[in-house]
Amino acid sequence: MAAVPQSNSEAGGLSDAQVMLRVKEGDESAFDYLVQKYRRPMVNFMYRMAHNAAAAEDLAQEVFLRAYRSRANYEASAKFTTWLYRIATNLAINHARDTRHERPDTMVSLDEPDQETGTTLDIADKSLSAEEHIVRRERLRAIRQKVQALPERQRMAVVMHKYQQMDYKQIAEVLKLSESATKSLLFRAYETLREQLKDFV
């Protein structure tokens, strides 16, 4: 059996679904490869949903744990990422419901490091005046609040589309919707955000 590639550049033509089928057959190194490849995107996704860095790490770990436990039932009929994000969305929904009473204000501090860059969101941009800087911070705060306040499925779709760069087809498969229903869902979400954020745009 050929060794599982250790990096994307050495993928050797194997799709993620094929790698997962290797996991199903008992290849532990194949699963390590998938965890290495998707850990960061999964932590970022969970951070956007939970707005808590520690919870995002825990939830991402739980996604991979559940994926591994479900390896025997894995079928390569859908893309691996679709299957993985279905597990993630279910976990994120459960986490939001379980912790709703603990966090009446779901805002994250703007001083908290961004999970994608590792930097704080309010680092001084030399080209911005103090006033522009304040406006930018307020705009970021408003966007986060409004995205977090969207209905659950709209919020999931926006996070996948805007922050995970997933296309309509992928989001539709994860949410088990038609492509047209997904487009409508995103259209409504973005219209709501546009209306609520018009003072900041």
CA-wise closest residue to 200 among 115, 104, 134, 128: 134
- Would you say 80 and 20 are in contact if contact means Cβ atoms under 8 Å apart? yes
What's the confidence (pLDDT) of residue 20?
Answer: 94
- How far is CA 171 from each of CA 11, 113, 124, 186, rounded to the nearest angstrom? 24, 27, 35, 10
The owner of tokens 């930018």 is 136
What fold characterizes domain 13-106?
Rna Polymerase Sigma Factor; Chain: A (1.10.1740)
What's the confidence (pLDDT) of residue 24?
Answer: 93
Write out pLDDT tens, residues 41-61: 999 999 888 888 889 999 999
Residue 21 has pLDDT above 80, yes or no: yes
Residue 90 has pLDDT above 60, yes or no: yes
User: Among the listed ranges 6-15, 89-98, 103-112, 138-147, which one has the minimum average pLDDT value?
Assistant: 103-112
Distance of alpha carbon 111 from alpha carbon 136, whole angstroms? 13
- Would you say 113 and 120 are in contact if contact means Cβ atoms under 8 Å apart? yes
Token pair for 61: 């770990």
Rounded to 10 degrees, what is the CA torsion of 89, 15, 29, 171? -10
Write down the domain spans for the chain. Answer: 13-106, 121-201
- Would you say 107 and 51 are in contact if contact means Cβ atoms under 8 Å apart? yes
Give 201 or 75, the one with higher predicted confidence: 75
CATH no. for 121-201: 1.10.10.10
Region for residue 83 given its phi and psi (left: phi exceeds 0; alpha: psi -120 to 50; beta: otherwise): alpha
CA-wise closest residue to 6 among 25, 24, 33: 33
Percentage of residues in the chain having pLDDT higher than 70: 78
Give 194 or 118, the one with higher predicted confidence: 194
